Amino acid sequence: MASALINVPARAKRGDVVEIRTLTSHIMETGFRRTAAGDLVPRDIITSFTCRYNGTEIFRADLFPAIAANPYLSFFTVARESGKFEFEWIGDNGFVSTASASITVE
């Protein structure tokens, strides 16, 4: 199963802007490449990513073959309350990967 690296500050002050960085392991095969025998390698990419903060969706991405292998994403949100960030990646061939991280807001 694919593994994900999540970087969320463990604690923050209320109202602070926090950076969330995520990295998933995935080949992101474009579907444009051919094998030595000339066969097209089928597309295998992550097509969408969502991040929820205590159940509320704060970020959503639709991804396409032009995203590099092992998709890295960084975005920012405002720390409002202690709780949990939940991340979900969905891709071709039934790929699903989830991860979560918690934050303490003071």
Partner 1 sequence: FAATPAHAATNDKYPEEAFRQKSEADAIKALYGKTAEPSDKIKLDAPEIAENGGVVPISVTTTLDKVTSISFFVAENPNALAASYKIPDGTIPSVANRLKMAKTTNVVAIVEADGKLFSATKEVKVTVGGCGG
Q: Which residues bind partner 1 (CB under 8 A)?
A: 17, 28, 30-34, 40, 42-43, 47-48, 56-69, 71-78, 80, 90, 92-94
Q: How many Å apart are CA 9 and CA 7, to the nearest integer?
A: 7
**Residue at 12: amino acid letter:** A
Helix (H, G, I), strand (E, B) or coil at 92: helix
Task: Let me know: does 102 contact 83? Beta carbons within 8 Å.
Answer: yes
Shorter beta-carbon distance to partner 1: residue 11 or 76: 76
Residue 39 CB, nearest distance to partner 1 (Å)?
A: 10
Residue 81 CB, nearest distance to partner 1 (Å)?
A: 12
Helix (H, G, I), strand (E, B) or coil at 96: strand
Task: Let me know: does 95 contact 2? Beta carbons within 8 Å.
Answer: yes
Shorter beta-carbon distance to partner 1: residue 31 or 102: 31
Residue 31 CB, nearest distance to partner 1 (Å)?
A: 6
Shorter beta-carbon distance to partner 1: residue 61 or 99: 61
